[in-house]
């Protein structure tokens, strides 16, 4: 059922324009059966754990190891851009250029292309954010111009078989093969790409690797600084707790340190005119209204979607803000974070480069001897490590990207799942000021900091007893910087259903969170201007609280305890 979002500040509140959006809230309640008619069950998910079902990352690795050498007729190389929309320190792009230069020595007519493939059904099935899709398209335009300076054409292909097929389907594989071989008039082609770790994307690559010797897909680990599977416990198992994993991550980086000026090896291609003949053909694609119509028209606009902007932002952060990161990153009214998250999730800047630059600012020490003594920059690096950790976990527990929690026993939690309560949480109308301010900011800007995400996730899953997956989908659809593994990891942590989660009896106190992270109420008053200035007074324009915080905490403890 579609409803118009009812939140609209009164006329005496000029700062926030009216939200007049017709929105289908029911889409967040369950898996999209159109794309996933037979969603995975707990029993099938557990097959990954007991090794009766192979994990997609393992299947992919075996197929890669079985790949045959390039056919001698190969004279065309393609880099397939995914969530790696950059030239600087892009491993698969580097390997693509390297291979092209090798082929060029044998065949002067060798060709080098770059591609990006649009599948709107993937976006619908995965509930991709309109904010992020808009940003990605702008990034593609800028990337195409940057590649043009290297005489590398970026071709944007759109797949649509009018059957709602995802990119892991045989229909997509047939389309992709045809498009690639059209470029070569049927001759063999080599394709490089960086691996995406979501289950759908891994199965897509598995299909492509199984398909045709004329289509050689070479895949690389690029979005993780340390590739999944390399860090294991003494028993050879994958870590499910962050701290020991993080310590081993640091040890690994220090052991494989590139040189005194950098902790990680970077992959740089040399400026050159790679194709002799080149003509820039801007792609003609506009994002359909369905993907952006729920985004309000407001004074907030997208960040600059360029690689240069990402590099500049990192430099600005390290120069002016990083020393205050420990104290500022959680404050709701401060711009205390790096602002790099959207550039990381779309791959416009590499985490290797970020860690290199940050480690130099920390005199090469990426972690203190005792974690509690981590400096601001070292904790910033630690936040980058969390991204690796959650990707490693998603590879080892692939069902976590298939709408099943890491802790299978938490499927027995008896959520209340009141749809009206959920809607009020979504639009920032719960009567709890710190929650509402955060949710309104998300609606208007597509971004909230990590502390804000933890506060609102805890409130939804614990105080309101709404299935955390409803909120995870809402975030996925509304965050400009959404990274699925981190989003699921964060929600799992706050709802006590995920990897290395907080204990179920930890329930954030909303009043204390507000006092600690918005002590002067600057943030709350900005986003809830209808609140009265005097303490202890309620406004007729602002709703009463949906729940009593103490009573709802006790109810959550009872429900969780009975299930766990």
Q: Has 176 been labeled as part of a binding site?
A: no
In angstroms, the CA 101 to CA 106 distance is 9
Backbone angles phi, psi at 293, to 5 degrees: -65, -20
Query: Token pair of 455, please?
Result: 């506060």
Q: Has 337 been labeled as part of a binding site?
A: yes
Where are any strands of DSSP class E within 145-298? 154-158, 189-194, 215-220
Provide the residue count of the chain. Answer: 564
Answer whether 421's CB lies under 8 Å from 546's CB: yes
Q: Has 339 been labeled as part of a binding site?
A: yes
Buried b (16+ CB within 10 A) or exposed e, 531-561: beeeeeeeeeeeeeebbebeebbebbeebbe
Cβ within 8 Å of residue 276, ≥6 positions away: 151
Query: Token pair of 182, please?
Result: 């059209």
The total of other beta-carbon atoms located within 10 Å of residue 143's CB is: 23
Query: Token pair of 8, please?
Result: 């609209």
Cβ within 8 Å of residue 548, ≥6 positions away: none
Task: Tell me which residue has tokens 């995400």.
Answer: 453
Cβ within 8 Å of residue 48, ≥6 positions away: 55, 397, 398, 399
Beta pairing partners, 220: 194
The total of other beta-carbon atoms located within 10 Å of residue 239's CB is: 21
Q: Has 325 been labeled as part of a binding site?
A: yes
Q: Has 483 been labeled as part of a binding site?
A: yes
- 148: three-class secondary structure by DSSP: helix
Beta strands at 189-194 and 76-81: parallel, antiparallel or unpaired: parallel
Q: Has 84 been labeled as part of a binding site?
A: no
In angstroms, the CA 229 to CA 395 distance is 8
Answer whether 418's CB lies under 8 Å from 464's CB: yes
Answer whether 425's CB lies under 8 Å from 462's CB: no
Q: Has 386 been labeled as part of a binding site?
A: yes
Q: Has 486 been labeled as part of a binding site?
A: no
In angstroms, the CA 354 to CA 383 distance is 11
Backbone angles phi, psi at 106, to 5 degrees: -95, -30
Q: Has 494 been labeled as part of a binding site?
A: no
Q: Has 52 been labeled as part of a binding site?
A: no
Q: Has 340 been labeled as part of a binding site?
A: yes
Q: For residue 525, which of 507, 539, 509 has the smallest C-alpha distance?
A: 539
In angstroms, the CA 449 to CA 283 distance is 34
Q: Has 457 been labeled as part of a binding site?
A: no
Q: Has 562 been labeled as part of a binding site?
A: no
Cβ within 8 Å of residue 205, ≥6 positions away: 60, 193, 195, 217, 219
| Residue 469 CA to its chain's centroid (Å) | 16
Q: Has 227 been labeled as part of a binding site?
A: no
Task: Tell me which residue has tokens 């009766």.
Answer: 52
Q: Has 388 been labeled as part of a binding site?
A: yes
DSSP 156-200: EEE---SS---TTSHHHHHHHHHHHHHHTTT--EEEEEEPP-SHH
Backbone angles phi, psi at 541, to 5 degrees: -90, -5
Which residues line the annotated binding site?
A: 325, 337-341, 380, 383-390, 481-483
Which residues line the annotated binding site for FAD?
A: 325, 337-341, 380, 383-390, 481-483
């Amino acid at each position: 059922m579609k409803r118009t979002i009812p939140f609209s500040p009164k006329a005496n509140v000029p700062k926030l324009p009216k939200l007049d959006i017709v929105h289908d809230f029911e889409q967040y309640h369950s898996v999209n059966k159109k794309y996933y008619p037979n969603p995975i069950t707990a029993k099938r998910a557990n097959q990954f754990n007991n090794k009766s079902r192979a994990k997609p990352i393992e299947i992919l690795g075996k197929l890669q190891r079985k790949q045959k050498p390039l056919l001698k007729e190969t004279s065309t190389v393609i880099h397939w851009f995914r969530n790696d929309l950059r030239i600087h320190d892009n491993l698969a792009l580097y390997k693509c250029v390297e291979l092209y230069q090798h082929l060029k020595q044998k065949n002067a007519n060798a060709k080098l292309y770059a591609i990006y493939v649009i599948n709107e059904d993937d976006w619908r099935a995965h509930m991709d954010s309109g904010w992020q899709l808009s940003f990605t398209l702008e990034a593609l335009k800028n990337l195409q111009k940057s590649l043009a300076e290297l005489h590398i054409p970026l071709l944007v292909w759109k797949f649509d078989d009018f059957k709602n097929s995802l990119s892991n389907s045989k229909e997509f594989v047939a389309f992709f093969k045809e498009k690639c071989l059209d470029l070569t008039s049927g001759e063999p082609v080599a394709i490089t790409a960086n691996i995406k770790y979501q289950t759908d994307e891994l199965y897509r690559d598995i299909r492509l690797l199984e398909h045709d010797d004329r289509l050689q897909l070479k895949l690389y680990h690029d979005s993780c600084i340390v590739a999944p599977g390399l860090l294991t416990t003494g028993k050879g198992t994958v870590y499910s707790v962050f701290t020991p994993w993080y310590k081993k991550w640091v040890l690994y980086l220090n052991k494989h340190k590139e040189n005194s000026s950098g902790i990680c090896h970077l992959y740089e291609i040399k400026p050159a005119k790679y194709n002799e003949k080149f003509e820039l053909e801007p792609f003609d694609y506009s994002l359909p209204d369905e993907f952006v119509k729920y985004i309000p028209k407001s004074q907030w606009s997208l960040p600059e979607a360029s690689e240069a902007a990402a590099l500049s932002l990192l430099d600005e952060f390290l120069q002016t803000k990083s020393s205050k990161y420990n104290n500022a990153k959680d404050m709701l009214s401060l711009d205390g974070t790096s602002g790099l998250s959207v550039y990381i999730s779309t791959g416009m800047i590499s985490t290797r480069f970020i860690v290199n630059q940050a480690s130099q600012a920390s005199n090469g020490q990426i972690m203190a001897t005792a974690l509690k003594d981590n400096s601001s920059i070292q904790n910033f690096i630690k936040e980058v490590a969390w991204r690796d950790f959650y990707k490693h976990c998603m590879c080892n527990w692939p069902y976590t990207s298939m709408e099943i929690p890491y802790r299978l026993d938490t499927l027995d939690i008896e959520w209340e799942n009141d749809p009206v309560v959920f809607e009020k949480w979504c639009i920032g109308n719960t009567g709890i000021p710190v929650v509402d301010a955060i949710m309104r900011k998300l609606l208007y800007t597509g971004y909230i900091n990590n502390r804000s995400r933890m506060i609102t996730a805890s409130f939804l899953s614990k105080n309101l007893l709404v299935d955390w997956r409803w909120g995870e989908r809402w975030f996925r659809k509304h965050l400009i910087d959404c990274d699925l593994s981190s989003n699921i990891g964060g929600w799992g942590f706050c709802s006590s259903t995920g990897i290395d989660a907080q204990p179920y009896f930890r329930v954030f106190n909303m009043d204390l969170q507000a006092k600690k992270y918005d002590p002067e109420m600057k943030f709350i008053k900005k986003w809830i201007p209808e609140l009265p200035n005097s303490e202890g007074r309620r406004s007729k324009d602002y709703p009463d609280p949906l729940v009593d915080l103490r009573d709802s905490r006790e109810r959550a403890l009872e429900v969780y305890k009975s299930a766990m």
